[in-house]
């Protein structure tokens, strides 16, 4: 009996020792691995590089109820070029430098992105989110990179980084949905080049016979204009076999000049398209159609000429209206010609386009300013009211009617421009192609590069051009362009 009691006691003791050892080992493992009873929840560490808005967003994700298994370290960094994102990295924002609409400054030179955020009393730029960019402020390049042309440079790319031993399993599922913002890119931004007067005629006909190829005239500007999704010009001369060095008619070979600049839209509001007869004007429209070039502001009949051009590309809707207000050449019936301006029609067409939610662009062929001079720079035509009539009043009135942008396409010499109301006005673009080499003013033009994103005009970049006795149009150099734009800015109403 005593023997059985000793045996039972030994079993109890051994069981107790086993349980004790197991408990010690089990709890020891938990202690040293920080699991079970001794588990310490993961901690979220914010780096000093994070700003208040970012911290607020992160606080909304990592609330007190969140129980992390591992620590997570969060930081942010600015880049001047869009980086290749690695695990745990997200593009949080794209910011760009802007300055005053009328500034001649175009570029900022910096060595790092953080330099752009230094408080500077003398700095004449500010940094804004790309969502806040619009045409009322001028976008600057960074180190000669223009964001809306490149998208991978010319901006401050801010990246937020998450570092954790369990990033894939624990952190990514929590944070990824908060960093899905879509930024403008080449496939979603509609680029639209708008140019001034084209009149491939008179002396250009003689020059063509000399050089042999019509692409000669576009050699220095064709690649630039062809890069835009849409390229426009206001062509004032029709194609005909009777073109010569004295008339405003175009040798039929000149269609190669237009295709060399990638022309997509031709405006026919000019007053010379009938100079070589109605048949030439009709045949010219057929040539445009054969080459897939859309027409605005003119046609074979009055009804065709009055048809608005509706553009719907890359998520942006634009209604393009074009009128001949006063210079002649308009059609009133079944003859070819320009679209005559009528207040009632313009009011209705602008209102219809606005109801549709489109951006409304209105081009006007107005009275021509012809105060030119052979020997010195005459600035009289810089001023919008230098021509007969109230040019400023009419153009502003069209903005008041609801137009977003008004452009003058009759000026052979570039005119001033201004922000007005909720829109913008470019009073005259000058000559893109013509033979007027005698006056300095008529050898220049303003090329407007429009950038649209989701129906919004983000920017219009002005690129001045010039030609000389060679009649080859080219972009102005940076210094000359700044001088010329500043001169036009001084002439604004």
The first and second tokens of residue 191, run together, are 């680029």
What's the pLDDT at 111? 95
The pLDDT value recorded for residue 118 is 80
Alpha-carbon gap, residue 217 to 254, rounded angstroms: 9
- Within the chain, all domains assigned CATH 3.60.21.10 are found at 189-490
Cα separations in angstroms, 170 against 30, 92, 163, 223, 424:
21, 20, 11, 51, 51
End-to-end CA distance of the chain: 121
Q: Are 260 and 215 in contact (CB under 8 A)?
A: yes
214 close to 474: Cβ distance less than 8 angstroms: no
> Which of 31-35, 292-296, 437-441 is predicted with the least confidence, judged by mean pLDDT?
31-35
Give per-residue pLDDT as tens, 63-78.
988 999 999 999 999 9
SS (H, E, C) the chain: CHHHHHHHHHHHHHHHHHHHHHHHHHHHHHHHHCCHHHCCCCCEEECCCCCHHHHHHHHHHCCCCCCCCCCEEEEEEEEEECCCCCCCEEEEEEEEEEEECCCCCCEECCCCHHHHHCCCCCCCCEEEEHHHCCCCEEECEECCECHHHHCCEEEEEEEEEEEECCHHHHHHHHHHHHCCCCCCCCCCEEEEEEEEEECCCCHHHHHHHHHCCHHHHHCCCHHHHHCCCEEEEEECCCECCCCCCCCCCECHHHHHHHHHCCCCEEECCCCCCCCCCHHHHHHHHHHHHHCCCEEECEECCHHHHCCCEEEEECCEEEEEEEEECCCCCEECCCCCEEEECCHHHHHHHHHHHHHCCCEEEEEEECCCCCCCCCCCCCCHHHCHHHCCCCHHHHHHHHHHCCCCEEEECCCCCCCCEEEECCEEEECCCEEEECCCCCCHHHHEEEEEEEEEECCEEEEEEEEEEECCCCCCCEECCHHHHHHHHHHHHHCCC
* Per-residue pLDDT tens digits for 177-187: 999 999 999 99
Per-residue confidence at 28, pLDDT binned at 50, 70, 90? low
Lookup: tokens for 71: 């620590």
Top-confidence residue, 428 or 388: 428
Dig out the tokens for 392 from the structure. Answer: 């400023």
pLDDT at 138: 98
pTM of the predicted model as reported, rounded to 2 decimal places: 0.91
Q: What number is the average pLDDT over the span 400-410? A: 97
Q: How far apart are CA 189 and CA 185, in angstroms?
A: 6
Q: Are strands 107-108 and 141-142 parallel, antiparallel or unpaired?
A: parallel
Mean pLDDT of 17-35: 52
User: How large a percentage of the chain has pLDDT more than 90?
Assistant: 85
pLDDT in tens, 272-285: 999 999 999 999 99
Q: Give the pLDDT confidence of 76-118 residue by residue, as tens digits.
A: 999 999 999 999 999 999 999 999 999 999 999 999 999 998 8
The single residue listed with the structure tokens 């020997």 is 375
Categorize the per-residue pLDDT at 27 as very low, low, confident or very high, splitting at 50, 70 and 90: very low
> What superfamily does domain 189-490 belong to in CATH?
Metallo-dependent phosphatases (3.60.21.10)
The residues with which 460 forms a beta bridge, in sequence order, are 450
User: Rounded mean pLDDT of 56-65?
Assistant: 95
pLDDT beyond 50 at 133 = yes
């Amino acid at each position: 009996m005593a023997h059985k009691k000793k045996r039972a006691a030994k079993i109890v003791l051994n069981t107790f020792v086993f349980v004790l050892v197991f408990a010690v080992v089990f709890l020891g493992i938990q202690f040293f691995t920080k699991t079970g009873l001794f588990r310490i929840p993961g901690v979220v560490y914010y780096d000093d590089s994070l700003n208040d808005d970012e911290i607020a967003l992160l606080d909304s994700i990592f609330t007190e109820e969140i129980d992390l298994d591992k620590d997570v370290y969060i930081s942010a960094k600015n880049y001047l070029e869009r980086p290749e994102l690695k695990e745990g990295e997200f593009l949080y924002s794209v910011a760009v430098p802007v300055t005053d609409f009328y500034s001649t400054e175009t570029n900022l030179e910096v060595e790092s992105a953080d330099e752009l955020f230094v408080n500077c009393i003398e700095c004449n730029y500010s940094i804004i989110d790309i969502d806040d960019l619009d045409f009322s402020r001028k976008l600057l390049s960074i180190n000669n990179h223009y964001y809306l042309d490149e998208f991978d440079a010319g901006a401050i790319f801010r990246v937020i980084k998450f570092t954790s031993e369990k990033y894939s399993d624990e952190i990514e599922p929590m944070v990824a949905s908060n960093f899905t913002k879509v930024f403008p890119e080449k496939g979603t931004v509609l680029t639209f080049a708008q140019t001034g007067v084209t009149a491939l005629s008179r002396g250009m006909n003689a020059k063509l016979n000399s050089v042999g190829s019509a692409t000669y005239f576009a050699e220095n500007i064709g690649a630039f204009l062809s890069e835009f999704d849409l390229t426009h010009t206001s062509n004032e001369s029709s194609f005909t076999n009777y073109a010569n060095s004295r008339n405003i008619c175009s040798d039929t070979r000149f269609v190669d000049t237009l295709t060399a600049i990638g022309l997509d839209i031709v405006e026919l509001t000019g007053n010379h398209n009938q100079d070589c007869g109605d048949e030439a004007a009709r045949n010219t429209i057929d040539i445009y159609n054969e080459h897939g070039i859309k027409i605005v502001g003119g046609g074979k009949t009055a009804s065709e000429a009055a048809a608005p051009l509706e553009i719907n590309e890359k998520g942006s809707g634009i209604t393009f209206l074009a009128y001949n207000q006063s210079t002649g050449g308009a059609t009133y019936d079944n003859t070819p010609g320009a679209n005559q301006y009528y207040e009632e029609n313009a009011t209705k067409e602008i209102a219809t386009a606005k109801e549709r939610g489109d951006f409304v662009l209105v081009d006007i062929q107005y009275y021509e300013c012809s105060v030119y001079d052979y020997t010195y720079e005459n600035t009289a035509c810089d001023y919008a009211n230098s021509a007969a009539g109230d040019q400023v009043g009419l153009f502003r009135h069209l903005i008041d009617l609801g137009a977003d942008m008004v452009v003058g396409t009759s000026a052979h010499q570039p005119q001033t421009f201004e922000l007005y109301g909720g829109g913008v006005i470019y009073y005259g673009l000058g000559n893109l192609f013509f033979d007027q080499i005698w006056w300095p003013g008529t050898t220049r033009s303003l090329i407007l590069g429009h950038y649209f994103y989701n129906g919004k005009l983000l920017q219009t970049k002005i690129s001045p051009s010039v030609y000389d006795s060679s009649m080859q149009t080219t972009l102005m150099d940076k210094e000359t362009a700044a001088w010329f734009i500043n001169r036009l800015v001084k002439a604004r109403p």
